[in-house]
Amino acid sequence: MTSSVLVLGAGMIGTCTALHLAMRGHAVTLVDRREPGRETSYGNAGLIQREAVEPYAFPRHLGTLARVALKRGADVNYHFGALAGLARPLARYWAYSQPHRHAVISQAYARLIEHSTLEHAPLIKQAGADDLVQRDGYRFVFRHADSMRQATSKARALEQSHGLRHTALDPDALAIAEPALRTRLAGAIHWHDTWSVSDPGALVGRYADLFLKLGGRFVQGDAASLSPTAGGWQVRTAEGALDAEHAVVALGPWSDTVLRQLDYRYPLFIKRGYHRHYRGGEPPRLAMYDVDGGLVLAPMKQGVRITTGAEFARLDALPTPVQLDRALALAGELVDLPEAVEPEPWLGARPCTADMLPVIGPAPRHRGLWFNLGHAHQGFTLGPVSGRLMAELIEGQTPVVDPKPYAPARFG
C-alpha cells in the first residue's frame, strides 16, 4: 500500500530515501532550504568507500591524544568553548571506542558498507551519472615506513575477513603509479573496490533529477517547522503547509534541532571539516589519503580538492580553517598546487553518533515519524543502502540488512 511521505533533508541520505520511496510508488515530497546536494554531501572527498568497514574510533594512543590536545596536526582541531557542550557525547564516543566494543560495532557497520557500491551502481546507471564516477579505487599513502608496515598488516586482515582487494606499493611502484608526486614516500596501499566521484554534489543532483522523473516533488521549506497532525505530519514550505502520513528526518548535522523539539535526546555531535580546490600543477591520478599527514587529496572537476580531518566546534561557530592551512602545507610537499580556485575555504559538518552507527528506523514515541541520520564520515557512501533500508522499513518489507543495530530505540 502506498502512502504520502515528507523527507526532510536533500543531501545524499535524504535524496536516496526519497528516491527509493518514489521507486516504490509512494507520494514523496523532498524538503530542504537549498537545492539537493549543496551542503555536507557537496563538500566531502567524493569517495564511495567500500573499504571503510570500520568506523573512525576515538583515538586511544597517548602520542596521538597529546598531538590532538596541543593542536599540532591537520587531522583534528577543536574550539575550547565547545568542549563543555560536547563532553557527554564525546565521553560516550570514548567508551564505545574501547577495542572490544568497537569490534562489535564494526560488524554492524560493515553490513551497511558491504552494500555501498552494490546500491550505488543501479542508481548511477538509472540517473545517467557514469561520467561522474571512476571505479579505479584510491590510495592510502605513507610518509613513514612504520605506518606503512602497520597498515599493510591491517589491510591483509581486512582482505581475509571482508574480501577487500588491495595492493601494497613500495616506494618505486608508487612513484611509477603516481608521477605527480614530488617526493619519495614510504609506500601506499591501493584499495581497488572504492569508487571516486568527480563532483559529489552533482551526483546527488542526478539522483534528485531521477527522483523528480519518477513523480517526486522537491520543495524549499523549513524543516524545523515539522509538527504532528491528526493524520500524520506537517511542515511549512514556500508552497504553504504540506501534510503527509509519514515524515523522515534526514537532516544530517541539523537533525538534532528537530529531534530536540520533539523531545528526543540522542548522543549526537558534529565534526566540522574544510576543503578547498587547487589547480595549475599535475593532479594525482587517484584520490590519496595522506595517512601520516591526516588529509585527503582528491582530483575533481573543480581541481584537486584538499579536505581536512575533524574540527570539534559548535555548528554555527565562525570558521577557523587552521587545519586547512596545515593540510595545504603538507599537500604541497606531495604535489604541486600553485593556484587556489575559491577565494575562501568551504566549511561543512559531519553528523555523528557516540556509538559510530547511524540512526535508521521508527521514532520510538511518534507514529509515522522516521529517522535516517548520523552517518558521520560515510553519508555519501551509505546514502543508497540507507535509503533502501528506510523505504523497506516504512513499507514493512523484509529489509536489506538487519535494522536492529541502527534502531533509534537503542538509545532508550
Indicate if the pLDDT at residue 301 is higher than 80. Answer: yes
- In the structure, what pLDDT confidence band is assigned to residue 64 with cuts at 50, 70 and 90? confident
- What does R_g of the chain's alpha carbons equal in angstroms? 21
- Determine the pLDDT at residue 67: 80
What Cα–Cα distance (Å) separates residue 231 from each residue in 207, 269, 367, 390, 403? Answer: 30, 32, 10, 21, 26
- Tell me the C-alpha distance between 29 and 219, whole Å: 7
β-sheet bridge partners, residue 32: 220
- Determine the pLDDT at residue 2: 84
**Residues written for the chain:** 412
Which class is domain 1-57+100-132+194-265+357-412?
alpha beta
Indicate if the pLDDT at residue 283 is higher than 80. Answer: yes
Q: Angle between the 99-113 and 379-395 helix axes, to the nearest 10 degrees? A: 70
Average pLDDT of the chain, as a whole number: 96
Tell me if residue 47 falls in helix, strand or coil: strand
Indicate if the pLDDT at residue 73 is higher than 80. Answer: no
- Tell me the C-alpha distance between 389 and 375, whole Å: 14
Instruction: Count CB atoms within 10 A of the CB of residue 214.
Output: 16
- Determine the pLDDT at residue 300: 97
- Determine the pLDDT at residue 38: 92
Indicate if the pLDDT at residue 359 is higher than 80. Answer: yes
Q: What does pTM read for this prediction?
A: 0.97
- Give the pLDDT confidence of 164-189 residue by residue, as tens digits: 999 999 999 999 999 999 999 999 99
- Give the pLDDT confidence of 83-138 residue by residue, as tens digits: 999 999 999 999 999 999 999 999 999 999 999 999 999 999 999 999 999 999 99
